[in-house]
Each structure stands twice: as C-alpha cells, then as structure tokens.
Structure 1
C-alpha cells in the first residue's frame, strides 16, 4: 500500500521522514501541521499495510464490538489532503546517518533533512520451550487480532499468559468468540501495576463469574505441542490444554533500528526535552523513547511528547518535562482507574469506600494533606478529579470528610452535582485520556462552533475513542452553551453528519435508489460506509422501494444472511417457523430427520413455541434449509430484524376460559406479517382471555381476547428492561385486529430508526401520534395497511423465506411512494 503525492520541482521545503505510522508518529505530524502546515514536506513509513488506527481499540475489534473502519484515526484522505507521502507495509530496515537516508525492506530509499523514529514497542515473549510453536500469538496489532479471530472460528481452548490489561482484554474477546479461556498470571494480583490487592481481587471475581478461569501465581514452564500448540505446562506440574496461546506479558521499547544506527540507547532511545536523540537531525517519540530515565507505555505521556517535539521543530522554546501518569481503563467492560503511588506506608492515610451491592471500590491515599494515589473500581467518574488534585498537589484538608464521595458531592456543597464538578476542573485538567485533550481544549473547540457531542468528537477528538469521557464532554457542552446545545438525534455513524430521520427523508425527497447513490448525494466521508450505516441504508431503501430496490445481502448482518444464529462453540442454531406455535407430523418428522442427518446435539423448545436445532455446522446450513423447505417449513427469522414469533395460547378451542380463537388469529397474523423486514426484531402474541397466558402485554403488538372482541396493545418488550404495552384500542372482529396490526407494523417500518424497538419509538413520538395515524384516521389506516400488504408481496428472500401455501396474498398495483410524516417530538 503506497500513497505518494507528486513532489513539485520547486518544493524546497525541509523533508521530514517519519518511521512509524502508528499513534505517536501520526500525532506528532498532526501537532506539527497545527503549528506550521507549510514548514515541512512529510513522508511516513509504516510496517503495517494500513492507515493509522487506534491501537487502544484493538480489544473491541477482537470482542466484535467494532470493526477496523471504526478505529481508523487518519484515513487515506487525511494523508492526501495534507500532502503526506505514505509508504505502508514496507518497514524501514536501515538508517544511514552519514548520507541521511533510510532504506526499506523492499529496497525503497528516501533522503531526509529531519528523521523521526516512532517505532513504538515490541511484545515481550517469555523465553520458554515451545514459544515458537505455531499457535503462539502476541496481541499488538491488527494481524494479531486476525490470527486470534481465525483461531476462535475453529473453537476450542485458549490460554492467555499475562493478567495485565492486554491479557485480560484478549481473554475477554476470545471468551466472547466462544473459546474456553484460561488466564495465567505470575503475580498474585491481576494488573498489579494499576490495581491494589482489593481491586485486583474484585476484578478476578468478576471475570471468573463470566466464565473465565484465572490462575494467579502461575509460573509457565513450557508450551507443549507436536508441530502446533497443544497446551501449557506450569512449573508446579499443572497441564492446561490449549489450541492457541496468547502472550501478553508486557512490552519493550523497539530500539533495534536506532541501536544499529549508532544512536544512544538505554532502556529506550534516549532523547532530550524536545525529543531530539544523540543525533541532532534525528528525533524519537512514543513508547520507543527514554526521557530522563523513564519510559512510558500509556497514551497521555505520548501526547505530551508529541506537543514538545512539534514545538521544537518550529523553534518554540517549550520542552517536555516528563509526565505524571494515570490509568483509566475499561477491562472486559469493567471500569478501573489508578494514579500515583497506592502502596501506602508510613505517614499515609487510606480513605476507602466499599459498596458491595454496586460492585464499587474506591481508595484514596493521602499524605501530608495531599493526594498521592488513588484506585477506583466499578465507578471511575471521579478519576480525572483525583488525578488533577494529585498532579497539582493541592491541599485537600478541607475536603477530607467528603473526598471519597467524589467531586460532584464535594463541589455541590454536600449534594451530587455533576455540572458543578466539571465546572470546578481547571482548564488543564485532562478530559479525554485516549486522545490527550484537556478541559480548556474542549471549551475552546465548543467556542469555535462545535455545539454538539459529534461536533466536539470531530474537532478535537474528545470522547471519540473509548467513550468513557462522554459524560464530561456533555456536561462541558451544557455549561458552555446552556440552551444552545445541539441535542438533536445523533448521526447514523461517523461516516455522515446526517441522522437517521434525515437520511430517510432525503432518500424519498431525492428519489435515491441505491446505497452508493445515497452516500454520494449525502456526502459520506468514507468510500463504502461501515458496519453501522450500511445495514440501516439497506433497510431504509428496502422499505421505501418495495419491489424496486434489490436487497443488498452483503449489507445485512451475517445471521440474517445465513438464517442462523452462531453459538459459542462456533456452530449454528436453526429455527424453522411454526405458525402460531402449531405443528404437524410432517414438520416434526422433517425436524427429526435434520437432527439425525446433521448430528445436531440438541433440540430445544424456544420461548416462542418453536423448536431450535443446535450444533449445525456452517457448511451444512444450505442443505439443512433445503431439507426443511422440502417439508414446507420456512425460516423463523429468530435471528433477523423482522417478525420473530407470534405466541398464542389454545384459546376458545380448548381452554375453558377462552373467549376467542386466539390460536387461529395468531396463525393468520403470522402468515400475514412474516418475512417483513423491520427496524428491529418484532414479536406478536394473542391471548385467548384476560388471563393473558401468551403474555400479549409485553410484546410489540399484543392482542387480548375478551367477550366483546379484541383489545389491541402496542410497544411492549421483555428482556432486561421490561416494558408493558400501551392500549391502542379495542375492536370487534378478527379482520379489524389484522388491519390494525398491518397498519401499526407499516407505520413502525416507515417512521422508526434502524435498530429502534417499538417501545423507544413510541416513547419518542408519543402514543397519541400512533393513535392519530391508526385509530382516528380510517383512511390513513387503510393506506398504511395497503402499503404493508403490497410490500409483503415482494418480501420473499429466496427459498429460505418462500411464502407457504395458504398464506394470505393481497397484491395491489404499484402505488406512489410514501412520504413520511413530520416527526412529532
């Protein structure tokens, strides 16, 4: 991968060559551009065949929470816009200081006036027998993540050596990917450099509760295997099976290139306050350097170094004086923070708060009325405040009695006041540790026009990485702007400045008919979108253009493409549809045959009255569905943004309390509405009497049969946050119930944002808006119903979703495309 702007013959600027396309190297260039964009011509060499990305966010990529595009810091457009030549995937292997040239492994040679070394650090591999076996993986870059993902697809067991941050994040990600994980840590406390014994114990308990095996005091003797990794043996004789071993025991400054060039090297490349090495024309920055006897592996010091380096390159006198560090992290979803010296000792006072019910532990160490250290577990909101007090060595004697309760309490005069807490921070207090952004920088950014959270993220990058400082940024927006904060809907993703409602409106207004057309006309900032916007655009086009737009399968989530859910062992589960929960001998025989033929280890009745077939291999899925289709069975969409189930009770046909034929109505509703793609999953239930055995009042659309007809309920859901339905109306006949259901589904399809369930949609637009469109406006209800049934005539998505015989099929002539109603706040 190589991007080289054409160098003009008249370009006589000094040439800055950067070795390292990572976070430190590119941040240094950003700082230089901010000071004097025209001063230097810049060429960057990177060992990886990629643009600059946020290495801190590799863990969410491994865990499946983000993809690579989500963690890119500077895309190809940034290099082009700033005239930077990028040579990626071809690392520099030699530096000729006398000729002032660098040469890459591929033979590319480049001269320099100033050279910046930003080679970062190398993972430390413990020197035990078997360390070179295939299957031993480090955790340092995207290639390592790719290797772990490939291993996780095969399933099995993983051993992670190292209970520091990287090791625990690797274990968390592999566990989420379905592997059985054991963590080996030599020291008695996890993350002993960041956490004290109590916090380390809490972290160990929490991780073990999530299914991981954590062995502390575990000393690795050897990695065993014949041609590949098969296990890890400890010095006490314990043998742990392993299909992969992840080495995450630490890092060392990457100094080999500098050492071979004859530069002064100690623990790292030795630099002065402006990051200049023992050669006046060569600078170094980041994890590879040693400054005043210290090396740093955290982000905040790197940003300080980059600022000082840029100052030196433009001849500004300020220099780097070292860093006081803090660590604010999210380990496997658990917040932890530490700063300073938490070892305690003579003259120190420990102030401790433990809240077992909330899983919170706080410890502040005070000496001579000043904070010298802090450890927070479970609630890290006050980390920045403690760190600011520590750095400035402020006298906290007046705050002694309320110090442990946090800044909001202290600043609010004994009452928690988050805004007052943020207001009390000094301008140089750190807000965003990931990107090294202070309170003063955020406020300046807001003053220059960044009046929303997304605008702040785009301007100064605060809250743009891990997101843990989002609350602080939002409070700064509120304090700085008051009522002028732009709190409207968030943008769809970082690819666009448009929100979901704006995109839906513009698709109709501009008659857009494809994903590339939408991206072009709405000025998408990425060439192909991302995993967040592509499924949403595909759905909005599919909803707006029934029968015209061709569903883009590659823009769907994989479970919708495969009609199967991946399970923790890497196999899949398949759920064929059972209309209203009813089945027959042919369907049961087909399921039994599939279970035997494909050796499915388990069959389970789901909460929606269907049979779930587990343990199907990915390569067998098409054949499984072919066999089920042959018996007339179709996809239950248990894995799609579509109708999932229609739950029923036996109703008047069998139950002595039943008032209506709930089973029959459930089958009709399911046949009418199945296969309809929606903003999110959608569930229906029909209860035959007010005893509500089908739990209709916690479904997206629920029918409760009563003596005089049918009560229709909307907007319920179960799950973590249970929401009971709202009563929409009462109708007298089955047909009216079906008509209202069709109209409600279509209104939801047309107005809700992608991945928005019916409950938050109704809470956003208001129940009265729903009633006005469906209950009060008979003509509007019929138009919605007609649009829904028309779209249903095109909803087949290949044999896995063919409409079964007997399904209601009302076909209407193509009608004018709908125009979404203006949203009611």
Structure 2
C-alpha cells in the first residue's frame, strides 16, 4: 500500500523532487501537493523574459494539469497550509486535515520589503511570482509610466530591463557602491551600469530609500539625500528571507532557515525540507542549482536510499538580452591571492581570474563569456593551471602553444591599422614619422598628433617606437602612479577629465589598470582626483583613504588617537574651553596640549571613545580640526589691529574668514595658512603654504612656503589693497592647487613644477579665470564642508533602522 506524502509548496525545488521520486520509485507514494499560488510548478527563472515580452506564460510552465494527473498528484493549489500537527501527523488547511506518513516543506522564501513609510501603498510590489509579473506588465501599459526598482541585484536588474523593454521610464536604486556587488567586482559592475544606461535605464548607486510617497497610490520615492524620483510603480527587489513560519509553529529546529541534515531531514525524521526555506550547515541557498541537488537527495531519502547533499560552487548569469555576464567563485581580495585581468574598453570586455596556489578560485567575465564554463570547470576540478598561466585568460583556444608576445603582435599590425582613434592616425603614418627622425613619444605626438587627445593609445605608440627603433629606442623614465598602471599622475588627471570618468571602476576599466581594484598607492590618489574633478557626481570612497582619514583622527604610536577641535583663527571662548576640559576629564585624556597651530590637542583617546567624545564636543558647537586630513589644517593668526599697537589690518578677522571659507576642502596634501598683522610676522606667515602679511597699504600674499623637513620662504603671489581681493586670490590659488597638483605634493612642490608665473597668470592676472576657479571651489564646498563626526552620528542613526543584516540573499534564479 502506498504511503501518504504531503508536499507544502509547489515550486521548482519540490517539482524536481517529485520528478525524481516518480522516476525512481513509481507508485511508492500517494502525493498531495499544496501551493499558495493558484497554479502549479513553473520556471520562475523565466519570469524575466515573460516580463520583457520575450516569452509567454504557457512557455514557462513546467508541470501542467496533465502531468499532475498522469502521476496521481492531488493538487490543492491556492490553498495555504496553516498548521502542522506532528503528534497526529496531519496538516491543517481551510479548516480541514490531511494526514501524512512523510511531509516535505518547500515553502521557499518571502521577499524582504524595506520598512519605510509608504511601502503599503498600491503600486508597491515585490518581484517573486507570476502575479507580480502580471501587475508589472499592467503598470507598463500606461503611456509615459515611470518605474523605480529598489535593488540592483540579479532580480532587480532583470525587472528593470523587462520594464524598460515594455516602454517604462526606469530608475534603479541600489544601496551599495556598484551593481550586483555579491556577484561582481567594481570593474564589472561599472560595465554593467554603462550597459544599462545605454538602454535608457537610470542607475543611482549608494541610494538609501527614506520613504515612498503618495496618497491613494504610489507617486514617488524619496531618498535620504533628498533626491526624489517620480514613480507609478515601485518594485522592491532587495533580498529574500526563508519562509519558515509553518516550521517554527510546528516547533521544528529553525535558525535563519529550517535546519536540515545532509539527507534533507528536519529535526523530525518524518518531515523533510528543501529549497530556499532551508539552512544546511549554516548556509542558505538562493540559486537554482543547489535547490535541484537538494531535490535529488530528498527523493532518495524518501525512497530509503543513501544520499547526501553537498553544496557546490555555482555560477551566475544575468538574464537580460544583450548583456553577457558570468560570475563564479570567490573574487574578493585576500592574502596569498593573485589575479589575471584582461580589459578591452573599446569592446566593453572585462575578464578577471582570481588564483590561489595556481588554482582558479574566482572568475568574473563581462562582454565576452564564452569561456565561462571552461573556467568554471577548472575551478570545480581544482585544476593546477601553472602550465598555462601565461595564456589562461585567453581561454581554451589559446592553450598548448607558446605564450603570446605582445611586441610581436604590434609588429604584425599592418600599416593601415588605426592606432589613434581620436585623430585617425594609422600605424604607417607613425612609422613614417619615426623614419623621419621622431624617436620619442613627444616627437611622434608633435608630428602626427597620435596620442595628443585622450592619450589612451600612448602605450601602443611607444610599442611601435620600440619595435621600429629596436635597441636605439630609449624608453621614457617617467614614473607611473604605481605598478597598477603605466600612467603618470599628470596623465591620469588629464584623462579623468578628458574621458569624463567619474568612478574608480570607470578609471580602471577605461585606462587599462593591470589589477582589478588598484592598490594602496593608487586608490587614495584616484579617490582624491575624482573628488576634486567631480564633486557633485563622485562619492568619497572611505576605504581608499589612509587610516587617519578613515578614523577622522590621528593615530599615535601606542594605538590611541588625538582629538583636535577646530578653533577658528586660533580664537576660542570660555564655553568651548570648558567643553574641552569636561571631555578631557570624562574620557581620562592623558595629555592636553596646545599645538603650534593655535589649537588644543587631546592626546591618548581610545578608538572606541572617539564617537562619544566627539558627540560631547559637537554638542558644545566644536567641529573637527581635520588635523588628520589632506586638507586645510590651521589658519594661524596674530591679534592684528584689535589689540596690538603694531597691527596694520584685522589679521584675526581675515584668518577666521579664510578658515571658515576653506575648511573641509580636500586637497592633494595638508595646507596651512598664516595671517600676520604686520611685517613683524608673529603668525609666521612667510613659511606657510599660503601666508598673508598685512601692511599699511593692504595685504601681501605669499605662497609655496615650507617649514617641515624642508624649510622654504614663501614667494610673492600678489599685493592687494582690500580683504575681499585677498580672499578671492587665496581661494582661487587653493582651487588651482586642488585641480592640478599631484596627489601628496605640498603646494611648494607643485609651484616648483608648474612655475609661479603660470600660477599668477591663472589666479592674479586673469580675472575671468580667477572667478571660474572660485565658482568651482564654491561648488565643491557644498559637498565637502561637513564635520565628519556630525556626519558619523547621522549615519549611525540611519543605520539603526537600515535592514542591512537582512539583505543577505539575492533573489532565486
């Protein structure tokens, strides 16, 4: 006599289990199948093509009514099981009981809905089943309709692409810094974003949703930064949670998911579970491959045959027509790992292999994925790739031969091969210039204009020089930014502007970085250059800053930190002093010291006390002195005309005005100012990065001084008669330094390279240039002029409700 098998959940995992069960042990069970949806098993992976119109519902049905009838399955679709009585071995639904000998729970997962105001409005939905898909198709039928998709993971992007193909105006909001961050590194994420934007999909990363707006239905989405996106439809695709309520109520062992053994048995041996609702050895599963492995094991267990579930590596592909993307394994950075990276910016191709002990442990392919399965096979096998290390990245077609010689490839280029796309210069024209006596890159550039525009072909031109001249070619000795690139700082800054590159992945992809994510040398420089050039578009990358800047405090030799509140122009008040004294006592600060920059330094503060001590200081109106930053440190002043009998101008007031104008602006290196009220120079203005000496006739502005390891007097930049003129010129000078100096060059080094005459021409002699510099500085300050500890406190407040801990799974394929 057949045993009674009840299955709760009619999805892909349980459907595959029934296929195996009917094939291996036909007639062993009488099956009753419950499903919350009013339909049977269909291929959820193909919902995206249904949404986009590429497939119909009928084409994605896996088990139709005839299949269930042929296998004697009693279908109870649209009926939800509300309880399991383990003692009596029955399940309860709609007030009636169904007995079982064996029970399988395959309830899948529930979409996570961000707990923000407005999430219950009509027009806000998840993307999990056919009903959601049909609702999205109906919304897209409205002319001019707008959709906002919250979540830039697999499912969110598939939803966005489908809605866009339906004609909607689509915006994707993603919390993290790049799309699909669980599957892609930043470089591939950048290419994916470019691809989507070419399709007309707007992408907004680092977007924190604050509220969903609307009256009778959804009308817009409001972000924490104040941005508002209009919306007739909001799709939440931010993650999933295992659906475990029925198991919890039945007192089965549940952690994040329903705990199962290798045989897919729960804590009750007569109850099995599989799919997205389970947890196996601490791991949850959201992709279809392991779910199908579970299905096979569960069928074997039901048939009393030996089997054990073993999680395996999975790969990811995005189901968006025209987007070729492959990701597998672990591609994070780590000790003992190396990587091979191939980039072809013109074709939008990016390949990255992560190796450990001569074995592939991770792979990311974008734009050209035909070799993905081969790489994946090597990864699963743990194959030793040392013998094909040099040609591995080029795929199986290139194995077995000698390593490719890049110089031979350049030599083999025909004369008509285009080298400089910007100016239409072919190889033949360059070799003619070389034959005519051009033996350096600069000479070839001047003769042919090759590499004179965007500069990305410079390396190829140099290779042609080397091939043509042989031993007579003297390679340039200009030092690159780091080992990740052949570009100098100057070339890098020029190309960031020329090619409008506004993110680190964009720079690394378009400019041919040799590594995928840069290094500790180039990342801080890149972060600064992008901040300086694109203040409104680029978001500061905290992890690309030095430790002091990340922690907003200077680390000391014993691991403690110093806390330096800002004192405008060296002036303070009794209330501020009391607040500093109270903080020093409260946090047992070992040393309180007056600095050379006319401030008070609290030395020896523990790292864990930094937020609290700054909360107290902020409460008293004190802000960070940025003593740790590559930015404005101090403006040292004397008392000037207020109290000193020798003072000629209000040096204190000018110093305070300058400090309040310039504070918070990131610069290539630290910047110190001084304002002396007379030529006696009590504020030591003549050895500062910018120093102003007040005289009877006005103000003498000097720049490029130094008083550190090198001691250097300032050079006279300008003499002006009014304080306003002095402020204008100093602001323009700082902005010019920000825009053109090499990262970590102090102003005196920068001025030595570009020449004081050039600086004067931009800042003093050309009023239009000066005004433009001032305007750009003002724009940047709308972003930069913030107290980091006040921002830190606000971020902590936001984090209290942000459900980051729950966003641990991507929606199932």
TM-score (normalizing by structure 1): 0.48
Q: Which has the bigger relative contact order, CA under 8 A and spacing at least 6? A: 2
Q: Which has the larger radius of gyration?
A: 2
Alignment TM-score, normalising by the size of structure 2: 0.49
